[in-house]
Amino acid sequence: MKEDRKESILETAERLFSENGYDGTSTRAIASEAGVNMAMLNYYFGSKEGLYKAVFERKFKGFHQTLTMLNEENISSWDKLKKYVELYVDRVSAQSCFQRLMQHELSLQQRSGMESFIVAYMLQNINEIRRILKDGIENGSFRDVDIDLTISTLFGTKYYLINLPSLASVMLGKDLTDPEVLNSDIKPRLKKHLYGLLESYLKK
């Protein structure tokens, strides 16, 4: 029950922060929508900034655990990379509001320490895909490519589709703000594109 209430607060906070921004969201509004009192919210998170950081921490830690487990699987480097792409695309399309919140925070750089806080967590997850690519090069599965720019290409494609939906919608002729379009059309299309792109670039 305790964890359920904490999750409810975090889910509500993520939605309200992404809709209204940090300054436009009060802890009182979060508590009210989550169905808890202010004392409970303060007990779990201490402050508005503590709650804000916890929203990011929850997402990053969960994905990092998934990626760590993936890297321990006894499968080929290519299969690990394909699984990573599938997990990554599924995650960013399902959590588009969080992705927008994260990019908004990084672009504004208004809160001291938040940028470095987010970047530090992002690097943990980036290091897991770097590990996949590095191992693949070392075991002869992949060509000796620029790992960092390969990762940048992967992330850049996601950024274009999720964080610039107005432009991407015009380019693709689809409404990327519509969750149904994102899931039924764009997501499988993006996976197919990234599989083909990475295979042609990486495989010998």
CATH fold of 53-202 reads: Tetracycline Repressor; domain 2 (1.10.357)
* Domain spans, the chain: 1-46, 53-202
Question: The whole model's pTM is what?
Answer: 0.80
Q: Taking the domain 1-46, which CATH number applies?
A: 1.10.10.60
| pLDDT number for residue 113 | 72
* Of 93, 105, 103, nearest in space to 25 by CA: 105
Question: According to the per-residue pLDDT averaged within each range, which of 103-117, 139-153, 181-195 is highest?
Answer: 139-153
Q: Would residue 109 be called left, alpha or beta, if left means φ above 0 and alpha means ψ between -120 and 50 degrees?
A: left
Residue with tokens 């015009």: 170
pLDDT tens sequence across 37-86: 999 999 999 999 899 999 888 888 888 899 999 999 999 999 999 999 99
